Amino acid sequence: MADGKIVQSNLFANNNAKLGSGGEIHQTVEGDHSTLTTNQGLAISDNQNSLKANPRGPTLLEDFILREKITHFDHERIPERIVHARGTGVHGYFELTSSLKDYTTAKILTEVGVQTPLFTRISTVAGGSGSVDTPRDVRGFAVKFYTKEGNWDLVGNNIPVFFIQDAIKFPDLIHAVKMEPDRGFPQSATAHDTFWDFISLTPESMHMVMWIMSDRTIPRSLRMIEGFGVHSFRLINEQGDSTFVKFHWRPKLGLQSTIWDEAVKIAGADQDFLRREMFEAIEAGNYPEWEFAVQLFSQEEADKFPFDHLDPTKLITEELVPLKVIGRMVLDQWPNNFFAETEQVAFCPSHVVPGIDFSNDPLLQGRLFSYLDTQLSRLGSSNFHQIPINAPKCPFANHQRDGHMQMNQPTGRVAYEPNSLSENSPRESSNGFHSATVNESGDKGRIRPESFADHYSQARQFFISQNEYEQAHIASALAFELSKVEYLHIRLAMVAHLLNISEELANRVGNALGLSEMPEAAKTVTKAQEMPPSPALQSIGNMKETLQGRCIGILIADGSDATAINNVKKAVVNAGANAKLIGPKIGGAKLSDGAIQKIDGQLAGTPSVLFDAVVVILSTDVAKQLSVEAAAIDFIRDAYGHLKAIAVDKGGELLMKAANLASDKGVLNALDVEAFIAQAKTRQWDREKMVRTLA
């Protein structure tokens, strides 16, 4: 140990290594090693690119450096997932509404009207299984279809792009975003030095940075997020012709996110907020539903794109290739046992059915290996497919035998193929899986294709596609995150990247960080292109003005007007929302008509952050009493600060005055139920500049 640090050394580079009295080896080389090596001491010449058949070709199995790195990474945590540890899983079904028979032989995509059972798991990436539900984070969106032809796992995210272009960098990315290893914090957060240090040195991440700093990563509900397969896949038809495809899930309730301050406070009020909201919706019969859409394009069309579709940091906008809606997913059954199903479910992108194949996306190519390896480690057996949640619902048979936790009892003397000793043993079929016929040529090597070199064009396109409120949120999120970074050179490097995305954005962030002078723009290999805005990339613009799937909080107490409460509650329910009554005491409230009203939540433990809009119906006497109660003031003040519609009666007006809140079009009379319902369908975005300073 030197200066409090363990010194690791290479025995074969150290002539001073000595044999101890017990036969142990004492390694005495001091100092740090500056050369990156494999675990066998082999110096690595390229840690940025996996070995491919050609610059845009598939990743080669012989890449032992990639396999060693990812294998070690996959086995770092036992037993919870290394990433996507906190997840919520639900059973449901998929129903095809439009056939893709011209493009694929996959029955799930050709048999209209058939309902295929499935299991969907939505998760956060960075935190552990015990972390909170609402951090700023990417959400995993994984669907296991139990098809007639075997299981198909569509394993994606709620964001259509990713941080890195090559799977060999995935361990580095996750090591950077996870808790810093010397201190064990922060948990499930990107606002720290190691994450932004890595990002500042990885220009390919800039497009993803725009997405993670946007409202997409702080969703209001798991029922209100999109899902993306991220990569290009292939569909193969009966003639053997292949077509590229991107998969897209679109929520029927539309998109909706929280405000950052709101997300932080929700984490304190209910760390299971999103999971609980999904559970309660299904219990109430309000089943979450998504449209399933595809983007179909040929190689000839792809060649005309102003980017490379095999680059996972790029997306294909809906304006370039429109979405074709072909089906729907409905989630209608909560698991019977959380561990047995949600925790033990094992997704692998390599699980496909005949008629679906892979592209040469180098991130996807690495995932095809990594996920299976991870499941072997996490579930402890090559027989994890026999766990009920993972088992196909169609017949399956092969010659794989024995192994840890073998639950089946294969019979007969034959456990190989081909064989002549058994007529009934499983054999290969001409109707089975066929890979796409693709001609590959070129020089193998660790080469990043030139078509992957543009790191800023789509990042700029995403930013300019947002409306003014969303742009302000991105700028403020960057300022917040980078303000947590200790090292000035990292903050400067990030602002230098932002200058290549938007000078306005860079200046807003730089000013919010208090930079004395702006850095020069980061050097680029490829000049950024000017790409047209895409309204489909907005969040606020894709929020539906509806109360479907929303929840309204109504603050009442002893003496509250019974008629007013009933009128508001009836209108809220008729509009498709849920209404919850909040009061100072969980025992209930005696209303103006003498009836005892049951309370759904106690005021101190049920803050307004849990609701989409609030109503305050109080007698003036009780309002005066509550005007010195912090929980009551916070209830209405937070609702106002989080841009929610507020309906008040005379007592509510007193509480507004005590909270020193000004009236605006989002503050309404509790008796004008129709006006309140109209305003509750959206946020009061014009109020934001009055309640907080944005970058």
Cβ–Cβ < 8 Å for 616, 553: no
Q: What tokens does 564 get?
A: 């007013």
- For 93, the 3-state DSSP assignment is strand
Q: Say which residue the tokens 């007639």 belong to.
A: 148
At 565 the three-state DSSP class reads helix
Separation of CA 600 from chain center: 31
Question: Is the Cβ–Cβ distance between 654 and 617 less than 8 Å?
Answer: no
CB atoms within 10 A of CB 460: 21
HSE-CB for 49 with a 13 A CA cutoff: 19
Task: Say if residue 538 is exposed, middle or buried (CB neighbours under 10 Å; 0-12, 13-18, 19+).
Answer: buried
For residue 397, give the 3-state DSSP assignment: coil
The residues annotated as belonging to the active site are 84, 157
Q: Is the dihedral of CA 426, 430, 431, 436 positive or negative?
A: positive
Contact 168, 69 (CB under 8 A): yes
Q: In what order do the strands lie in the sheet with 667-669?
A: 601-602, 578-583, 551-555, 613-616, 646-648, 667-669
Instruction: Give the burial class of 368: count Cβ atoms within 10 A of its Cβ; 0-12 exposed, 13-18 middle, 19 or more buried.
Output: middle
CA-to-CA dists, residue 455 to 347, 492, 496, 526, angstroms = 30, 18, 13, 8
Residue 370 phi, psi (nearest 5):
-65, -45
Classify the C-alpha dihedral 416-422-426-432 as positive or negative.
positive
CA distance 591 to 596: 6
Distance CA 607, CA 228 (A): 33
* Cβ pair 374, 82 in contact under 8 A: yes
CB 167 within 8 A of CB 204: no
Radius of gyration of the chain (CA): 28
DSSP structural state of residue 112: T
CA atoms of 72 and 53, how far apart (whole Å): 24
d(CA 196, CA 479) in angstroms, rounded, equals 12
**Cα separation, 637 vs 655, whole angstroms:** 9
Distance CA 434, CA 129 (A): 38
Nearest CA to 444 out of 131, 185, 61, 135 is that of 61
318 SS3 class: coil
Beta strand pairing status for 289-297 and 242-251? antiparallel
- Check if the beta carbon of residue 575 is closer than 8 Å to that of residue 569: no
In this structure, the strands spanning 551-555 and 613-616 are parallel
Separation of alpha carbons 166 and 289, rounded Å: 33
